[in-house]
Amino acid sequence: MRIGIIGAGRIGATLARHFARIGHEVAISNSRGPETLEDLAARMGGSVQAMTPREAAEFGQVVVVSIPYGRYRELPAAQLRGKLVIDTVNYYPERDGHDSDLDGEATTSSEKIREYTGANLVKAFNAIYWDTLRDAVRPKGDPERLAIPVAGTDSEAKAVVSGLIRDIGFDPVDVGDLGEGGRKYQPGTNVYAVPLHADELSGLLHV
């Protein structure tokens, strides 16, 4: 599969390495331009290329968005419209600036990004620290294998993302639709950044 990644920081670059390791073609991008990512891409091996965000969005059959929430209006919305997008984004007002819709809990960061891009959004990799994502890979059936909650409105898209999660070494747990489900593992919830096995996560989230 071709996977485009917008935001090649701690989470984006960790996912790029995992997806390349399991045989996908990956494009990474950031706000400063592909020339700032060429060394990183080269270190990740021949299946990872550096591109602009717009090019990475066009390249990917699946596109990961992994940037600070405060910058989501810089995303290439025209190229993301209708695409399967994995949203790793969390809202931290002290980093991102205040968004009154989110402060008032009228909606969620994922729903705002879906509204802006028109993408087929699946929320995943939001509730795991990047270094746990990097280091805690385990084979299927391993008692130490950790769970990753997944939320989205389109069950086919969630199935694709769940497959990627399994293939890189974690267990997906379907938490429901993008809004209601996604709220269950935002910053401040009881499962956020807590390493949990699938049965523990399902129990805590009542799913």
Ligand X SMILES: NC(=O)c1ccc[n+]([C@@H]2O[C@H](COP(=O)([O-])OP(=O)(O)OC[C@H]3O[C@@H](n4cnc5c(N)ncnc54)[C@H](OP(=O)(O)O)[C@@H]3O)[C@@H](O)[C@H]2O)c1
Q: Which residues bind ligand X (CB under 6 A)?
A: 6-12, 29-32, 53, 66-69, 71, 74, 88-90, 126, 129-130
Q: Which position's Cβ is nearest ligand X?
A: 9
Both tokens assigned to 207: 């799913």
Cβ closer to ligand X: 73 or 140? 73
Q: How far is the CB of 167 from ligand X (least distance, A)?
A: 19
Cβ closer to ligand X: 32 or 206? 32
What does the DSSP assignment read for 142-197? Answer: -TTPPEEEEEES-HHHHHHHHHHHHHHT-EEEEEESHHHHHGGGSTTSTTTT----
Q: How far is the CB of 113 from ligand X (least distance, A)?
A: 10
* Among 118, 117, 130, 115, residue whose Cα is nearest residue 179: 115
Cβ closer to ligand X: 84 or 148? 148
> 61: Cβ–Cβ under 8 A, 6 or more apart, which residues?
1, 2, 3, 84
Q: How far is the CB of 41 from ligand X (least distance, A)?
A: 12
Q: How far is the CB of 12 from ligand X (least distance, A)?
A: 5
Cβ closer to ligand X: 79 or 88? 88
